[in-house]
Amino acid sequence: MGQAGREPHLWGIPETRNYPAMDTIVVLTDLSPAAEQARRYAAQVAAPLGARVVLLHLSQELTLPSNATETSAEVRRTLPAKLQALADDMLVPTSAAIIDGNFDEDIDAIIERYNPMLLVLGLTQTNSYFEALLANRALNTLRYNTCPIMLVPASAALAPPYRVVLAVDGEAFAVPAPAAGLFNEVLSTWAPELAVVNTVGSAAKASIAALQQVQASGLLRGEQRLSFQQPVVSAPEDGILRVLNEQRGSLLVMVARRRSLLGQLFHRSVTARVLRNTTVPVLLLPAADTEAAVAGKPQPADELFVPLV
């Protein structure tokens, strides 16, 4: 991770626009179809929340397909104009920036600079999904920051989140205030139906415990009507995807526990398997550090039910 206070180097598009104080949504973009859908979805979210959008391109991600007609130098030269055109096309206040540096070193400085309420990036479903996510490296931010991440599949509909499915794992959890605040903005803005899904333990015991854990997590403010689903499945991800389909869910919310982020193979987790197959946006909320006091004894990654990364 980068050094505290390190300023990422911007090139090509100086941010000269002066916007009033607004919440910020940062879209990590690479001009791919998935990134295009993420940009459009971010605008749909930002508009009712009164937020501005920053389109952020990392110059180190400039990789060309084998059939490209431009050289990398030409792409680099024309990229600022292309990004600015995308920003001008947005229906909400939007600026564009290009970061010339290393993502792993600069992401904390980027978050410090923009203080985003949400990071958004496109979700590409590939056979080597683990490698694709490592290339994006956005999920690394959940190790060290409290900023939620929205992953938007290229095939996702630009539909408001009127039906939200929250996946829980049967263990107590807490959500940092910024992440909980964003989730409550979603609830208050769109007043969605909220379904809680748990695929661990017996239904009789799990329903009461899961709902109590959600209420105690800090995720909800005030009264919120919840429904509970406990599908009987052989694999947790199958249950999550089944409920998402049956509820006609338009947004899936999952909690990323830090102990698994720091630990084992991501591609073996439930989250990765869900992300390979989802067609709706997924909101990943980081779990707060306080979970360590309530999570119980450590478990091997293979035994963890994760809506955990």
What angle separates helix 177-190 from helix 33-49, to the nearest 10 degrees?
Answer: 80
In sign, the C-alpha dihedral spanning 132, 134, 138, 139 is positive
Query: Is residue 152 pLDDT above 80, yes or no?
Result: yes
What domain range is 251 assigned to? Answer: 163-303
* b/e burial code for range 137-161 (CB count within 10 A of at least 16 → b): bbbbbbeebbbbbbbbbbebeeeeb
Same domain, 102 and 176: no
pLDDT tens across 119-143, in order? 998 887 654 444 454 444 555 556 5
Within this chain, do residues 170 and 294 fall inside the same structural domain, yes or no?
A: yes
* Whether residue 183 sits in one domain with residue 87: no
Q: For the chain, how are helix, strand and coil distributed in percent, rounded to 5?
A: 40, 20, 40
| Portion of the chain with pLDDT greater than 70, in percent | 66
Q: Find the largest Cα–Cα distance for the chain.
A: 62
Half-sphere exposure (CA, 13 Å, Cβ side) for 111?
A: 24
Q: What is the pTM of this model?
A: 0.79
Domain count along the chain: 2
Q: Is residue 228 part of a domain?
A: yes
Residue 289, in any domain of the structure: yes
Q: Could you tell me the CATH number of the domain that includes residue 255?
A: 3.40.50.620
Name the more confident of 146 and 160.
160
- The answer to whether residue 8 is domain-embedded is no
Query: What letter represents residue 39's amino acid?
Result: R
In a domain, 4, yes or no: no
- Check whether 31 has a pLDDT greater than 60: yes
Distance CA 166, CA 215 (A): 12
Q: Are residues 175 and 297 in the same domain?
A: yes
Within-domain flag for 68: yes
- The candidate with the shortest Cα–Cα distance to 80, out of 180, 12, 171, is 12
My answer on whether 142 and 180 are in the same domain is no
Domain-located, residue 124: yes
Q: In whole angstroms, what is the distance from residue 186 CA to residue 217 CA?
A: 17
pLDDT for 93-123, tens place per residue? Answer: 999 988 776 666 667 777 788 889 999 988 8
Shared domain check, 200 and 271? yes
pLDDT tens sequence across 1-27: 444 443 444 333 444 344 445 799 999
* 190/139 same-domain check: no
Q: Are residues 198 and 297 in the same domain?
A: yes
Q: Does 194 map to a domain?
A: yes
- Whether residues 89 and 218 share a domain: the answer is no
Taking alpha carbons only, the member of 255, 286, 281 closest to residue 41 is 281
Last residue of a domain, one of 153, 188, 205: 153
Residue with tokens 């505290």: 4
Q: Which residue has the higher pLDDT, 43 or 273?
A: 43
Last residue of a domain, one of 93, 126, 153: 153
End of a domain among 153, 174, 197?
Answer: 153
- Whether 100 is in a domain gets the answer yes
In a shared domain, residues 31 and 132: yes
35 and 137 belong to one structural domain: yes
Do 82 and 207 have their domain in common? no
